[in-house]
Amino acid sequence: MFKLITSDQYNVKNDVLSGFTVALALVPEAVAFAFVAGVEPMVGLYAAFMMGLLTSVFGGRPGMISGATGATAVVMVALVAGHGVQYLFAAVVLAGVIQILAGVLKLGKFIRMVPHPVMLGFVNGLAIVIFLAQLGQFKVEVTDGEMAWMQGEMLYTMAGLIFITMMIMHFLPKITTAVPSGLVAIIAVTLAVMGLDLEARTVIDYVRDMLPADQAADATLKGELPSFAIPAVPFNLETLSIILPYSFVIAAIGLIESLLTLTLIDELTDTRGRGNRECIGQGIANTTNGFFGGMGGCAMIGQSMININSGGRGRLSGITAALVLLGFILFGAKYIEMIPLGALVGIMFMVVLGTFEWSSFRIMRKVPFTDAFIIVLVSGVTVVFDLAIAVIVGVIVSALVFAWKHAQHIQADTYEDENGYKVYDLRGPIFFGSVSNFKELFDPKDDPEHVVIEFKRSRVSDHSGIEALDALAEKYKAHGKTLHLRHLSPECRRLLKKAGNLCEVNVLEDPKYHVATDVLA
């Protein structure tokens, strides 16, 4: 990746200044995702404040930023359209409870099952998604609700501001790291636009373009403190049946994106976050959102990268970002509204450059074809669908590839022992993927009267392997021959229905391991 990390040291100054930068970058994202979900802009801003504050306090990854996200917003839009925003608040509360339970049950450890090619695909796909999301800032309203691409002077101004922002962020860290380059870029570009009286689109212009014509003129990002309110929905089984599917999806997507972002930041900072604690922190934040009028969310990789790049390492950076955002909502909305979109887009473009794993192009020819395919697959599914589906698809494909490769590793050395028995000395696991190759190793018709299968260097991994042993014993019995099974684990012997009496038990040498089956349960 591009080396954009400006500091590896934690200190209060870095956290506070980084928090200011992140707060400014949170505004257009929160507003945009609120429109995606079909709710008012303030619902998205409240979510960004509460998610950022509570996950920074209770979460397991200092320096990671959470807020309203597109991944969860696309799930919410159908619920809001069909049942209203109060059902959304109820669903977010339930999603938070599910996430807390996931943390209590210590399910966060399963993020370790995500293979490295899936992580590369996730990072690359997310970088592309962040880039594509910025393209919407290049559209303006031409007639009632109709959007068109910028042209002429407005386009050139936008491109120029983006270029200046990116240059400041690239070169300033080479001169000094005393202040975050992103914050300097935002302030410098804003002052330049005001001083030169340039015709540049600002944050409030973007908000007005998204609203109906009768609301656009009075649009503002000024708000009040979020207030407590129990979601106004009937508390019955019908309501539960409506919100439960949405809650599970929101909880799953939120945890997958948050834990993958946590893993990425771990690698960047050479530290280790606590996945189970992050699950609980995300759950607390989402539950609170539902009771205080927010749309919930999860970790935001773009804003997290801005924070890490700006020197934010501790919990104070996320807390500062949330409190500064609230301060802007309550007292300084007019200052946010005048920020040129070009400055924020430039920052996000630098995030794209820093997030994308450019080294993946170099290693494509060096890694196995299946790994390269998984990287491309996960990247594509991330762009076309969403992160959760992409990761699930990537893990499934990786598991199938693993099973296929190991299915071909079952083999046996044959020799005759001191009793004149033919011994098959197995190597490799016997499981659902390898049973076909396992059966082909034996020749019941031409083998001698006594045959031994030696399991010292092999193991039966699931119930499919047990069934294969039973079937093989039946074949030898049909030919009037005896099959002996040596060094088979106690669990395997218990599960054998037809070949159980063929096992040679050696209490001292027989292995002990558990078979993946529901029969013993």
Give a three-class secondary structure readout of 428-452: EEECCCCHHHHHHCCCCCCCCCEEE
Q: Which amino acid is at 448?
A: P
Q: Where are the beta strands (DSSP E) in 353-435?
A: 411-416, 422-430
Q: How far apart are CA 37 and CA 503, in angstroms?
A: 62
Residue at token pair 């979460």: 59
Q: Tell me: the pLDDT tens digits for 198-249?
A: 888 888 888 887 777 777 777 788 888 999 999 999 999 999 999 999 999 8
Lowest mean pLDDT segment, chosen from 111-120, 277-286, 369-378, 441-450: 111-120
Q: Tell me: the pLDDT tens digits for 329-350?
A: 999 888 888 889 898 888 888 8
Q: What domains are there in the chain, each with its CATH number?
A: 12-151+199-338 (no CATH), 411-504 (3.30.750.24)
Is 412 in contact with 424 (CB distance < 8 Å)?
A: yes
Q: How far apart are CA 191 and CA 183, in angstroms?
A: 12
The model's confidence at residue 516, banded by pLDDT at 50, 70 and 90, is low
* CA end-to-end span of the chain: 47
pTM over 0.75: no
Is 465 in contact with 430 (CB distance < 8 Å)?
A: yes
pLDDT value at position 2? 44
The model's confidence at residue 294, banded by pLDDT at 50, 70 and 90, is very high
Instruction: Tell me what percent of the residues of the chain surpass a pLDDT of 90.
Output: 36
pLDDT value at position 521? 45
Is 64 in contact with 265 (CB distance < 8 Å)?
A: yes
DSSP letter string, 214-271: HHHTT--------------S--SHHHHHHHHHHHHHHHHHHHHHHHHHHHHHHHHHT-
Instruction: Tell me what percent of the residues of the chain surpass a pLDDT of 70.
Output: 93
Residue 324 host element (H or E): helix 315-330
The model's confidence at residue 102, banded by pLDDT at 50, 70 and 90, is very high
Q: How far apart are CA 272 and CA 207, in angstroms?
A: 38
Give the mean pLDDT of 414-426: 91
pLDDT above 70 for 190 = yes
pLDDT above 90 for 138 = no
For 14, residues 6+ apart whose C-beta sits below 8 A from its C-beta are 7, 180, 310, 311, 312, 313, 317
Mean predicted lDDT score pLDDT of the chain:
86
Q: Residue 55, SS3?
A: helix
Lowest mean pLDDT segment, chosen from 110-124, 180-194, 441-455: 110-124
Residue at token pair 């009937």: 234
Q: Which amino acid is at 213?
A: A
pLDDT value at position 499? 62
The model's confidence at residue 520, banded by pLDDT at 50, 70 and 90, is very low
Is 24 in contact with 320 (CB distance < 8 Å)?
A: no
pLDDT value at position 9? 58
Q: How far apart are CA 138 and CA 158, in angstroms?
A: 8
Give the mean pLDDT of 123-148: 80
Q: Residue 341, SS3?
A: helix
